[in-house]
Copies of this chain bind each other. A is one copy, B any other.
Amino acid sequence: MSWKELLLGKPIPNDEAEEEKIGPLTGIPVLGLDALASAAYGPEAALTILLVLGTGGIRYIGPLVIVIAALLLIVQFSYRQTIAAYPDGGGSYSVARANLGTKPALLAAAALALDYVLNVAVAISAGVGALVSAVPVLFPHMLALCLVLLGLLTLVNLRGVRTAGMLFMLPTYLFVACLGITIVVGLVKLVGSAGHPTPVVPPPRLPAGTATVSLWLLMRAFASGCTAMTGVEAVSNGVPLFREPRVQGAQRTLSSIVGTLVLLLAGVALMCHAYGIGATPPGQAGFQSVLSQMVSAVMGRGVFYYVTIAAIVAVLCLSANTSFADFPRLCRVLALDGNLPASFAHSGRRLVFSTGIIILSLLAGVLLVVFGGVTDHLIPLFAVGAFLAFTLSQLGMVAHWRKSTAPRARHYRVVNGTGAVATALTLGVVAVSKFLEGAWLTFVFIPLAYALFRANRRHYVKVARATETHQPMRVTPVTAPVVVVPIKRLDLVAEKGLQFALSISPEVYVVQVHAQPQESEEIGSNWKSLVEAPLRAAGLPVPKLVVLASTYRQVIDPLLGYVRKLAGQHPDRFIAVLVPELIEHRWYHYLLRSHTATLLKMMLLFRGGPRVVVINAPWYLRERRRHGAGAATRRPESSLRGLRFRKQASDSP
């Protein structure tokens, strides 16, 4: 399996688990990329809506960013409490489950899960989109590039959290540093020029306004700008990723991320004011992103410009990674509660929850293929999911503080209550203003995911109820089972089957079905000499030969009927049916085989009733060479000595 180790790395033993954990320095790239990348598209989205106001629109970006920053700080405050109260991760889901009940919790989980899947698809296609605008010759391969990038991200994440964090550190800090330097230099120039700096490269002139300002327009701009807030819940979902003391580590990471994001957003807004930077109409000739205009205006188009743009593209792409860190954690928490299959809760060879990573990758891959690698239409869906989760999480914290006896609980409750009202209002604004643009899809997918969780849970409970017991074991009388050995002819496979059958019970029925007349060798005449005689001579019980006719040429139906008849005749015993399994050298030999044995096993298990047990005995094609053939030629025909199986190389531990 060396290719597996090459791709995924050596398996990590349990006792090295702590070393795989992360601190704030790696935590920011792993869990903060989604949030930080928002600085690149949040202001841009708001300014695009304001475009119809012409140059006059730019003045509204400041107040909008202030409102968004205030919301961010409230949400951050709320999630800091969540991290402390629910250090096992799960974020909004855990809060809602503990305080609001299962249904709101699953609603939050569904919203978050949808968000994570969307984020992967949108981030990858945004990154590839930026790459393709720079290198247009790649345009026809856009979908392929998206899928390759998705595959690489999946692989990196399957290798473990620490690998991902180390790999993504450089672009993340480069992105923050470049934008930070630009903003600081811009501030210096702003102060030095008494508020009227001269741009190095002037931004393109905005088209004349075609509308006057209205509340509806500002609400839409605000809703668009709110995409800047997505990704803030990530840290609270991933608390167990941090090394101890994990609560402090996670809180510090969250505060660093939100603090950096608020500063970046404020800086961008200020530069837009100072240099008169607005959005350019997207999808048209001459389009230039707001950040590109800002860096050009402040720093000019030198090396710094290109490094910054490269960092922005990289961060956009890699912001998909936040989902890879969180989605599997969310699924794990859901699985531990029975809302998803148990395998989501199993950590794999590199200590990550591989099932969740692979499912996330598959779902995002489907989205990318369905939308051909262009997922702009999915962006509005984001904000709905995020704000639904924010609101439920804060409502949960309100309930949490109500029950709490902590000294400042009352105080905290007011903050979270305010936050809940604010995010709920925002959710309303976003849902209404983005409904036709695609937000309606969330009203389809969130209920679907919710129903899936519920179905899983029902099934989980049903199975648990059906199987659990706290009683001492019921002791049945130890009567050997009735063993049925279906055979085609008297060959070594049948011989081995009989040997095993006789080792577990003295009551063995050998059954031959005469399905295809031209195929069935008559066993009758050889039975006495080849089977009965040697067994009798050794003083062993003799199996009974049963030949079943098949009116309709089926093999399985007559056998199943016979087995059920036996079960009826022995109401207090197990009926064990021995089905040999030919083990081939090469997998493709299985294509050449008839699959009667597989079908027989399934039918016996599903239709045989609770007392019919299937015994699957392997017959290796190499078996004869090793112990059969040699013995057969060396052995005198009449000898009946008890030949033992030889110890085989493959059996040594």
Contact = CB atoms under 8 A, between A and B. Distances in A.
A492 B637 CA distance: 49
A184 to B, nearest CB: 47
A616 B581 CA distance: 13
Interface stretch (A212-220, A254-262, A356-364, A642-650): A642-650
A349 B623 contact: no
Given A605-B616, A608-B618, A647 B571 contact: yes
Contact of A613 (B343, B349, B616, B642): B616
Contact of A500 (B574, B601, B619): B574
Contacts of A617: 613-614
Interface in A569-628: 571-574, 576, 581-583, 589, 592-594, 596, 601, 605-621, 623-625, 628
A492 B471 CA distance: 9
Contacts of A479: 503
Given A472-B533, A561-B653, A553 B621 contact: no
A530 B607 CA distance: 31
A259 to B, nearest CB: 34
Interface stretch (A305-313, A374-382, A455-463): A455-463
Residue among A504, A601, A631, A647 with max Cβ neighbours from chain B (10 Å): A504
Nearest 6 pairs of A and B residues by beta carbon: A565-B653, A571-B647, A343-B594, A504-B504, A11-B552, A467-B491
A238 B154 CA distance: 56
Contacts of A625: 466
A56 interface: no
Given A538-B475, A561-B653, A516 B345 contact: yes
A198 interface: no
A570 B356 CA distance: 41
A515 B465 CA distance: 23
A-side interface size class = 35 or more
A476 B618 contact: no
Interface of A: 11-15, 336, 341-343, 345-349, 351, 455-456, 459, 462-463, 465-481, 490-493, 495-496, 498-500, 502-505, 515-519, 529-531, 533-535, 537-538, 540, 550-554, 561, 564-565, 567-568, 571-574, 576, 581-583, 589, 592-594, 596, 601, 605-621, 623-625, 628, 631-632, 635, 637-638, 640-648, 650-653
A594 B456 CA distance: 12
Nearest to A490: B469
Nearest to A642: B477
A628 B473 CA distance: 12
Contacts of A14: 517, 550-553
A498 B574 CA distance: 12
B498 A571 contact: no
A644 B572 contact: yes
A648 B610 contact: yes
Contacts of A496: 610
A553 B347 contact: yes
A460 to B, nearest CB: 8
A173 to B, nearest CB: 33
Given A341-B592, A572-B645, A614-B616, 15 more contacts: A14-B552, A346-B515, A347-B516, A469-B495, A473-B530, A474-B640, A475-B540, A477-B644, A478-B540, A479-B503, A480-B504, A503-B574, A610-B620, A614-B617, A615-B616
